[in-house]
Chains A and B, each alone.
Chain A
Amino acid sequence: MSGPNEHHIVPLKTFLGVFATLMFLTVMTVVVAQFHFGAWNTVVAMAIASLKAFFVLAYFMHLKYDDKVFLVGFLLSIFFLIVMYFFSVLDISTRPVLNGIL
């Protein structure tokens, strides 16, 4: 009889480790923001946020262990967001008159 018993149980240690990592990365985000890299600040902040997102998704949300269809769905939604961003920016950044009137 197959039941929820056979579902993967993530050990307690992993959860605590992930939590510690997330806390560390939060501190990193705040510390890094004190330096001024110009435009790179956004990139660094987003990179750290994405690293945190990875840990939340992989462990707290079990994507690492679960049916791969969930991962496909998640990536699909991210992909279409990028599409939305890309084409909107394609328009806005190539208009002949930029920030002046818009």
Chain B
Amino acid sequence: MSSAPGVNYLNEKSGLWSWLTTLDHKRIGIMYMISVLSFFAIGGAFAMLIRWELFGAGKNIVDAATYNQFMTFHGAIMTFMVIIPGVPAFLGNFFLPLMIGAKDVAFPRVNLLSWYCLMVGAAISFWSLFYHGADTGWTFYTPYSIQTDNGTTWLVAGAFVMGFSSILTGLNFIVTVHKLRAPGMTFFRMPLFIWGLYSTAVIQVLATPVLGITLLLLIAERTMNIGIFDPAMGGDPVLFQHFFWFYSHPAVYIMILPAMGIISELITCYSKKTIFGYRAIAWSSIGIAAVSFFVWGHHMFVSGQSEVAGIVFSFLTMLVGVPTAIKTFNWVATLYKGSIEFSAPMLFALGFIFLFTIGGVTGIMLAVTAVDVHFHDTYFVVAHFHYVMVGGTLMAITGGIYHWLPKMFGKMYNEGVARFSFVLIFIGFNVTFFPQFVLGAMGMPRRYYDYLPAFEPLNKVSSLGAWTIGVGFLFALYVVVDCILRGKKAPDNPWGAKTLEWQTSSPPPHENFTTQPVVTGGPYEYR
């Protein structure tokens, strides 16, 4: 089925219905893009409100109960609706089949179903707002999550349904990578983004079901009081944390691994140089995925977990540093003597390396039990994971969106504004979160509505930084919308990239390639 020239996946059919019933992975990717960006706007708005409330000590805009809701919804939206589906379901959906030379993902209907799961799950989550919201934080820790009298059940049920979305995406990717690679595309000729997505998919499939059963038990606990996590009935509330983190620690690698894949693509493309240590980066993705299952107890050092388990988890956690450092060193080695082009995506990639290194090294600090006892549940932890999740994943997503916009929509974006958005986000980010390291070290507890007057100056700085990030992302949004509406026509391969998605037209036709590509070499044969 060859399509006429000028016909692509965007214009071959029209009307809202053709989108809502589409089986084309590219269209589903775009639907994910719209949903994820909308959720990001909502979650981001909550972040702005949180920082507004924390601008000064005491009450600024809302009371403590409302603040707890802001904090819970910011966390739950950003994890379950933005960062987890952000890279795999949005960029991965669009580019995984293109990059391995397939016509679609293995199960297109399942792919569409996963989008509807996310939508239904999100709707159920927001439904909790009609029951006075939820105030447990995104971790739903027992026993508070059992006792609190509000819409927590709805938020938990929503997260449960969104888990299906994540599982189905992972399942699809595993089968697609195994069964639909183009002729000649061996495992070690796959782009590193695909390796990142594949490792992520394995985690999604193996870890998410445990979250599912944990949340199901929590719902049963709240509705029928079954007592499995209730000490009064012989239950063990710490077991909830074990079950929760068995998923949720690997889940932070669901968030970061595909982002690392994007960075591998960006670094090699904008250095015009073959990636250094391809196999090491590929294997380190699998390594991170494997190690991620052995370290969850480091979230529980002060939760009543035994010291023996704490020591074991502490040692295992430091292992994560090894494959992560392998990636970082290889990226830096790739830059060495490359023809580096400081375009917007590359700036985000370099920003990623800088911020992610800070986030990673503070993570190793937190893995030391003696240090963690002091830092636990302080702003030091908040700063650490925002350096990884925002400084890492969101930087990578933004860079990836800029990099692939010409392919997705066939239009060029405004380079100047895009670079300006990087400057705002990068500076704003450090202004927001670096002071939080200091605040945490001074002992300011996280999640609290109020703080001692001594913490006020740094909190003001942090809030100003947060609003700078907000403005930066508004500029980024402008770049995307401007590109789609008014962008100049893009050539098929504007960056001179070597991976397969750039070898087809921009935007790609319905079945991705007019002739079946045959692969004869590695993914990054620059020089």
Q: Interface on A for B, CB 8 Å cutoff?
A: 69, 76-77, 80, 83-84, 87-88, 90-92, 94-96, 101-102
CB distance from B239 to the nearest CB of A (A): 7
Residues of B in contact (CB 8 Å), total 23
Which A-B residue pairs are the 5 nearest by beta carbons? A91-B309, A94-B308, A94-B306, A95-B306, A88-B242
- Grouping DSSP codes into helix (H, G, I), strand (E, B) and loop, the A interface class, with mixed when no group exceeds half, is helix
Stretch from B187-195, B291-299, B327-335, B489-497 that touches the partner: B291-299
Residue of B nearest to A67 (CB): B178
Q: Interface on B for A, CB 8 Å cutoff?
A: 178, 206, 210, 231, 236, 238-239, 242-243, 246, 293-294, 296-297, 300, 304-309, 312-313
Q: Are B294 and A90 in contact (CB under 8 A)?
A: no
Q: Are B312 and A90 in contact (CB under 8 A)?
A: yes
Assuming the A-B contacts A80-B293, A94-B308, are A87 and B206 also in contact, with contact meaning beta carbons closer than 8 angstroms in the complex?
no
Q: Are B305 and A91 in contact (CB under 8 A)?
A: yes
Q: Are A95 and B206 in contact (CB under 8 A)?
A: no
Report Cα–Cα, A35/B305, bound state, in Å: 37
Chain A residues within 8 Å of B246, by CB: 84
Chain B residues within 8 Å of A94, by CB: 306-309
Q: Which of A69, A77, A94, A101 has the most CB of B within 10 A?
A: A94
Chain A residues within 8 Å of B307, by CB: 94
Assuming the A-B contacts A92-B236, A94-B306, A95-B306, are A87 and B210 also in contact, with contact meaning beta carbons closer than 8 angstroms in the complex?
no
Residue of B nearest to A96 (CB): B306
Assuming the A-B contacts A84-B246, A102-B231, are A91 and B206 also in contact, with contact meaning beta carbons closer than 8 angstroms in the complex?
no
Contact check: which of B206, B236, B296, B304 meets A77 at CB < 8 Å?
A: B206
Residue of A nearest to B300 (CB): A91
Assuming the A-B contacts A90-B312, A102-B231, are A83 and B238 also in contact, with contact meaning beta carbons closer than 8 angstroms in the complex?
no
Chain B residues within 8 Å of A77, by CB: 206
Report Cα–Cα, A56/B178, bound state, in Å: 26
Given contacts A87-B312, A91-B238, A92-B306, 16 further A-B contacts (CB under 8 A): A76-B206, A77-B206, A80-B206, A80-B293, A83-B294, A87-B296, A90-B309, A90-B312, A91-B242, A91-B300, A91-B306, A91-B309, A92-B239, A95-B304, A95-B305, A96-B306
Q: Are B306 and A87 in contact (CB under 8 A)?
A: no
Chain B residues within 8 Å of A92, by CB: 236, 238-239, 306
CB distance from B291 to the nearest CB of A (A): 11
Report Cα–Cα, A95/B309, bound state, in Å: 9
Chain A residues within 8 Å of B242, by CB: 84, 87-88, 91
Q: Are B306 and A83 in contact (CB under 8 A)?
A: no
CB distance from B183 to the nearest CB of A (A): 16
CB distance from B167 to the nearest CB of A (A): 13
Residue of A nearest to B234 (CB): A102
Q: Are B210 and A84 in contact (CB under 8 A)?
A: yes
Residue of A nearest to B310 (CB): A91
Residue of B nearest to A101 (CB): B231
Could you list some 25 contacts between A and B, CB below 8 A?
A: A69-B178, A77-B206, A83-B293, A84-B210, A84-B246, A87-B242, A87-B294, A87-B296, A87-B309, A87-B313, A88-B239, A88-B242, A88-B243, A90-B309, A90-B312, A91-B238, A91-B297, A91-B305, A91-B309, A92-B306, A94-B306, A94-B307, A94-B309, A102-B231, A102-B236
Q: Are B236 and A90 in contact (CB under 8 A)?
A: no
CB distance from A17 to the nearest CB of B (A): 33
Report Cα–Cα, A84/B210, bound state, in Å: 10
Report Cα–Cα, A77/B246, bound state, in Å: 13
Q: Are B308 and A90 in contact (CB under 8 A)?
A: yes
Report Cα–Cα, A77/B202, bound state, in Å: 10
Report Cα–Cα, A3/B306, bound state, in Å: 57
CB distance from B199 to the nearest CB of A (A): 13
Chain B residues within 8 Å of A90, by CB: 306, 308-309, 312
Chain B residues within 8 Å of A76, by CB: 206
Q: Are A87 and B297 in contact (CB under 8 A)?
A: yes
Chain B residues within 8 Å of A102, by CB: 231, 236
Chain B residues within 8 Å of A88, by CB: 239, 242-243
Residue of A nearest to B236 (CB): A102
CB distance from A69 to the nearest CB of B (A): 7
Report Cα–Cα, A88/B312, bound state, in Å: 12
Chain A residues within 8 Å of B243, by CB: 88
CB distance from B498 to the nearest CB of A (A): 29
Chain A residues within 8 Å of B306, by CB: 90-92, 94-96
Residue of B nearest to A83 (CB): B293
Chain A residues within 8 Å of B300, by CB: 91
CB distance from A88 to the nearest CB of B (A): 5
Q: Which of A80, A88, A91 has the most CB of B within 10 A?
A: A91
Chain A residues within 8 Å of B313, by CB: 87
Report Cα–Cα, A34/B377, bound state, in Å: 52
Chain A residues within 8 Å of B293, by CB: 80, 83
Report Cα–Cα, A60/B345, bound state, in Å: 52
Report Cα–Cα, A69/B308, bound state, in Å: 36
Report Cα–Cα, A1/B304, bound state, in Å: 63
Chain A residues within 8 Å of B236, by CB: 92, 102
Chain B residues within 8 Å of A87, by CB: 242, 294, 296-297, 309, 312-313
Report Cα–Cα, A12/B449, bound state, in Å: 69
CB distance from A83 to the nearest CB of B (A): 6
Residue of A nearest to B304 (CB): A95
Report Cα–Cα, A77/B308, bound state, in Å: 26
